[in-house]
Amino acid sequence: MFVCREAEWKDCNMILDWRNDPVTRINSLDSREISQEEHEAWFRRSLSLPDRILFIIEKDHVAIGVLRFDQIDEKRMEVSIHLAPEARNRGYGQNILKMSCELARTCRPQIQTLVAKIKKENLLSIKSFTKAGFRIENEGGNLVYMFLDM
């Protein structure tokens, strides 16, 4: 059973550790290593932005990932998910993404479409999003754009 809770300042260092994990960096749109100072500024801003929602994903009361929603416009929201290294390759992605759809509906009922931007090389994420009902609608450069109508 997965549970999502709103991110808090106490999660800042944990998220930075996950973000700077080599596999996460390879699959992230921005693959450079992030400094503590830069991450803290991003995290502080993320907690205060009205168009961003940041959740910690927990399984059995243990944090296993971070889920982010960024509102694009009135009807669309971008979804991003990063799992902790120890939570990868366990089949969690598809179920977490399905749960994220329900969460998006609860947080922003007017949202009609979820959007994901994924590196073309990140085949596991593309597979997870596809299994969760997302469809590839556009490919540009090294990115795949996936959509889910809610």
What is residue 29's predicted lDDT score, i.e. its pLDDT? 86
What is residue 140's predicted lDDT score, i.e. its pLDDT? 76
Query: Kind and range of the H or E element at 70?
Result: strand 62-71
The pairing of beta strand 62-71 with beta strand 76-83: antiparallel
What is residue 93's predicted lDDT score, i.e. its pLDDT? 84
What is the Cα–Cα distance from 8 to 28, expressed in whole angstroms? 22
* Residue 112: domain span: 2-149
What is residue 97's predicted lDDT score, i.e. its pLDDT? 87
What is residue 76's predicted lDDT score, i.e. its pLDDT? 96
For the chain, how many structural domains are there in total?
1
What is residue 81's predicted lDDT score, i.e. its pLDDT? 93
Under-70 pLDDT residues of the chain: none
For residue 92, the domain's CATH number is: 3.40.630.30
What is residue 119's predicted lDDT score, i.e. its pLDDT? 94
What is residue 30's predicted lDDT score, i.e. its pLDDT? 87
